């Protein structure tokens, strides 16, 4: 996933990431409390899923932004009519991967993003354990040191060369 989204970010012109924009109107129950979180909760019942990002109070109601990977909702809630105009920008699978690539942490309002954070944390910890056991085995198995040193030297050479090229180009 990270590899595909990294290629997409490096070569954006290869991929079509143009979003599709749709608009709908959603009537909310009159007993909906007059706050942005309650409005977002009610909208969730009509399919607006994601994390509440930005809230602006207006004279007529609220303007909300709700976001999840691959979809961005702009909501204009009108208090007197208990109606929300929802503008949805959705993009394809590649763009969703791009957005997931940038998500971090486990403090989000949207549960699937937190689950993703846990998964990335577990994979990261596993990679650190694999690396640490490799270093341990390198010191214990003496016959593998020559191959290990050669691979390490090639890896460091490639990485330093790329870093210099990125920095100077």
What range defines the domain where residue 17 resides?
Answer: 2-102
pLDDT for the residue numbered 62: 95
pLDDT for the residue numbered 9: 78
N- to C-terminal Cα separation, the chain: 27
| Same domain, yes or no: 32 and 87 | yes
Domain termination site, one of 78, 102, 126: 102
| Same domain, yes or no: 16 and 87 | yes
Give 157 or 139, the one with higher predicted confidence. 157
Residue 149 has pLDDT above 80, yes or no: yes
In a domain, 112, yes or no: no
Mean pLDDT on 76-104: 87
Domain termination site, one of 76, 102, 128: 102
Residue 1 has pLDDT above 80, yes or no: no
In a domain, 159, yes or no: yes
| Same domain, yes or no: 29 and 54 | yes
Q: How confident is the model at residue 17 (pLDDT cuts 50, 70, 90)?
A: confident
In a domain, 107, yes or no: no
| Same domain, yes or no: 129 and 95 | no
Mean pLDDT on 6-14: 81
Mean pLDDT on 133-148: 82
Q: How many domains does the chain have?
A: 2
| Same domain, yes or no: 10 and 70 | yes
Tell whether pTM > 0.85: no
pLDDT for the residue numbered 3: 77
Residue 122 has pLDDT above 90, yes or no: yes
| Same domain, yes or no: 63 and 125 | no
**Complete DSSP assignment for 107-126:** --SSHHHHHHHHHHHHHHHH
C-alpha–C-alpha distance, residues 148 and 89, integer Å: 49
| Same domain, yes or no: 121 and 64 | no
Any idea what the CATH number is for the domain that residue 56 is in? 3.60.90
């Amino acid at each position: 996933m990270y590899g595909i989204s990294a290629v997409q970010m490096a070569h954006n012109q290869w991929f079509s990431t143009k979003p599709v924009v749709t608009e709908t109107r959603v009537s909310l129950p009159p007993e909906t409390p007059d706050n942005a979180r309650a409005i977002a909760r009610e909208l969730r019942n009509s399919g607006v899923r994601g994390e509440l990002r930005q809230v602006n109070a207006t004279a007529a109601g609220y303007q909300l932004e709700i976001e999840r990977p691959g979809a961005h909702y702009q909501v204009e809630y009108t208090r007197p009519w208990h109606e929300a105009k929802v503008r949805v920008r959705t993009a394809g699978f590649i763009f969703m991967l791009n957005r997931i690539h940038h998500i971090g942490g486990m403090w989000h309002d949207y549960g699937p993003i937190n689950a993703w954070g846990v998964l990335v944390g577990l994979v990261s910890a596993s990679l650190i354990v694999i690396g640490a056991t490799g270093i341990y085995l390198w010191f214990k198995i003496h016959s593998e040191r020559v191959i290990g040193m050669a691979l390490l030297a090639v890896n460091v050479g490639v990485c330093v060369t790329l870093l210099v090229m990125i920095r100077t180009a």
